[in-house]
Structure 1
Amino acid sequence: MTEPHDGRGTPRRPVAVPVASLLIVTVVGIITLLGGLEEAEARPEPLGQGAVLDQGLYSTAFVEARVNVEKAELSFEEDKRFVEMVFDVTNLGEETVSVGLPPAKPEEAGFGHSFANSLVRISPAIKKDKGPFAFALAGDEQTNQLHPGLKTKVIVRYRLDPGEQPPDKITLDVASFEYAPGFQDETVRWQLISEAAGESYVPTVQAQVTLPVKAGDPP
């Protein structure tokens, strides 16, 4: 940038603008456009199929989402079709815990420490009375237990209506756990990492996981 002419036919010398000042202005502008540095940092981590997430109490691999068809046992019964989300879950704690169920709403997750309690939102939303259902597999048997140090396959699923098409993809908002004192007392225990929302607390979404849904047999 150059100073104005001095009126005597001789232009004044250039004025140097510090590079650091320009950088500060640029960074401030970028932060403003992003809605602020704090808001940008608060965005959950986007993950996809095959990702592994450290949830504090669990190490979770997001294996796949699929359509599973259970054939009817009797001729007058209809086949049952389910959309299933498949996880490999390792209990990193020292006690056996339950698989649990995803909450109907994030604010209903409460302070439980079951695995499925951390799936605070499933999109598209599951229809009423169609699920969700959740269980772990121990060989050929279903169980609700996750034992310490063991990697266990967990299925979370819901039923499709006759003729209903499954979604192309499923998105999960996933929270994590911390071993810390409770909000209401000083008991140290595993609980969902949460943040204030008005007069209550809701789980903090650590990651947003999107899984393509593998189609099964046609309805």
Structure 2
Amino acid sequence: MTEPSGGSSTKPRRPVAVPIVGLVALTAVGITALLGGLNEAADKGPDALGAGATLDQGRYSTRFVESRVKVDKAKTPYDEDKRFVELVFEVTNKGDETSSVGLPPDPAKPDKAWLGMFFASSLISISPKFPKESGPFVYALNKGDETRQLHPGVTSQVLVRYRLGATERPPDKITLDVATFEYAPGFEDQRLRWQMVSKEEGDKFVPEIKARVTLPVKTGEGA
């Protein structure tokens, strides 16, 4: 039998001593790091976004442009100026079919929010809340004309408006909780469709909030 290169030695190898305290410390650090990582993943909340940010919503790509006070001037001497808090978005329909702009969920029916299928349906929470008579009024602009449709592959400006009372001051900022969509089988059948990403809480479904968007409200002369 050929001897391995370098020969052999009958001298026993000296064991390497590792202090037990060191092993315990390393183990503790490893466990702490693991638990910390798990807690961090579990505690991760919605993405914090601001004006100018873009969010991939699955069915849509949405840029949160701004929030502002808009004054619609009276058209006749018998009319009056109307003031609105206006949320401005640039929305691209990434699907293959024309989509409705939709409406934000009814605050009085939070258990129905996860059933929304359209862009404005994903604005799960708008804070501060406005009185029911204030709106919302929602539409898109296509070459300057109002529409309630979002066509495939087209980027449209979408406006969500709330009317202010004659002496009502606009808020300093608007905060939005925004959900996303996925193309997946329905709950009661296997047909693929766009539906809101939701999760089960107890005996009900609720939308998963992907982003919390804060928009300062811009005011101008006369606002």
Q: TM-score, normalized by length of structure 1?
A: 0.86
CA distance in 2, matches of 1:189, 1:166: 39
Give the equivalent residue in structure 2 for 1:23.
29
1:216 corresponds to 2:220: yes
Q: How many residues align?
A: 203
CA distance in 1, matches of 2:129, 2:67: 15
1:47-196 paired onto structure 2 within 5 Å: 47-105=49-107, 106-196=110-200
> CA 1:81–1:31 in 2, change beyond 3 Å: closer, same or farther?
same
Letter in structure 1 aligned against 2:22: V
* Gaps in structure 2 of 5+ consecutive residues: 1-18
CA distance in 2, matches of 1:178, 1:209: 20
Preserved CA contact (<8 Å) 1:137 1:143: yes
1:117 is paired with a residue whose SS is helix
CA RMSD of aligned residues (A): 2.0
1:20 is paired with a residue whose SS is helix
Give a deviation string over 1:189-216, Cα, whole Å, max 9, x none. 0000001122221111000110011013
Q: TM-score, normalized by length of structure 2?
A: 0.84
Give the equivalent residue in structure 2 for 1:201.
205
CA distance in 2, matches of 1:107, 1:37: 29
CA distance in 2, matches of 1:57, 1:133: 22
Preserved CA contact (<8 Å) 1:69 1:216: no
Letter in structure 2 aligned against 1:24: G
CA distance in 1, matches of 2:54, 2:147: 23
Greater Rg by CA: 2
Give a deviation string over 1:89-136, Cα, whole Å, max 9, x none. 000000000001101234322423211000010010121111111000
Give the equivalent residue in structure 2 for 1:10.
none
Give a deviation string over 1:159-201, Cα, whole Å, max 9, x none. 0001111111101000000000111221210000001122221
Give the equivalent residue in structure 2 for 1:3.
none
1:217 is paired with a residue whose SS is coil
Give a deviation string over 1:35-90, Cα, whole Å, max 9, x none. x345313x111000000000000000000000000001122322100001100000
Letter in structure 1 aligned against 2:177: D
Worse overlay, 150-159 or 104-113 = 104-113
Preserved CA contact (<8 Å) 2:71 2:222: no
> Percent same amino acid among aligned pairs?
52
Letter in structure 1 aligned against 2:42: E
Preserved CA contact (<8 Å) 2:85 2:163: yes
Give a deviation string over 1:12-49, Cα, whole Å, max 9, x none. xx7532242231354367469xxx345313x1110000
* Gaps in structure 1 of 5+ consecutive residues: 1-13
CA distance in 2, matches of 1:172, 1:102: 11
